[in-house]
Amino acid sequence: MKMTKIAMLILTVAVALFILIPSLSWAEDGAALYKAKCTMCHGPDGAGKPAAKIPSLVSDDAKAKSDADLTKVVQTNPKHAALAKVLNEDQLKAIVGAVRGLQKK
């Protein structure tokens, strides 16, 4: 009986932590981050919006860029100033991975 109570307590704490600290529980989801942070400008397929001078992320030009270059654009281009503040290294890495996925489509 006592063991069951302790087990229930541990389970409750584990579930609470899982809910309260998602960043500890899941690896960064690049596709979801791309959708949340980049789609409104670069589009769901990364094609960009030429009319609004938003470049494609799936062009040969973008494909030729290194991961480090893509990361740097997000971190330093003034157009991305708001994003650079909220995305950490792991998240940027995951997003670049998602962009590479779009480039393969």
d(CA 54, CA 51): 8
Contact assessment for residue 93 and residue 32, using Cβ atoms and an 8 Å cutoff? no
Q: How far is the CB of 38 from ligand HEC (least distance, A)?
A: 3
Closer Cβ to ligand HEC, 31 or 54, answer by number? 54
Min. distance of Cβ 68 from ligand HEC in angstroms?
11
CB 76 within 8 A of CB 84: yes
> What own/partner pairs with CB < 8 Å and gap ≥ 24 does 33-39 have?
33/87, 33/91, 33/94, 33/95, 33/98, 34/95, 34/98, 34/99, 34/102, 37/83, 37/86, 37/87, 37/95, 38/95, 38/99
Distance of closest approach, residue 23 Cβ to ligand HEC, in angstroms: 17
Within 28-87, the residues that bind ligand HEC by CB under 6 A are 37-38, 40-42, 53-55, 57, 61-62, 70, 73-74, 77, 79-80, 83
Residue 102 found at the interface with ligand HEC (CB under 6 A):
no
Q: Closest distance between ligand HEC and the C-beta of residue 101, in Å?
A: 12
- Residues in the site for ligand HEC, rule: CB under 6 A? 37-38, 40-42, 53-55, 57, 61-62, 70, 73-74, 77, 79-80, 83, 95, 99
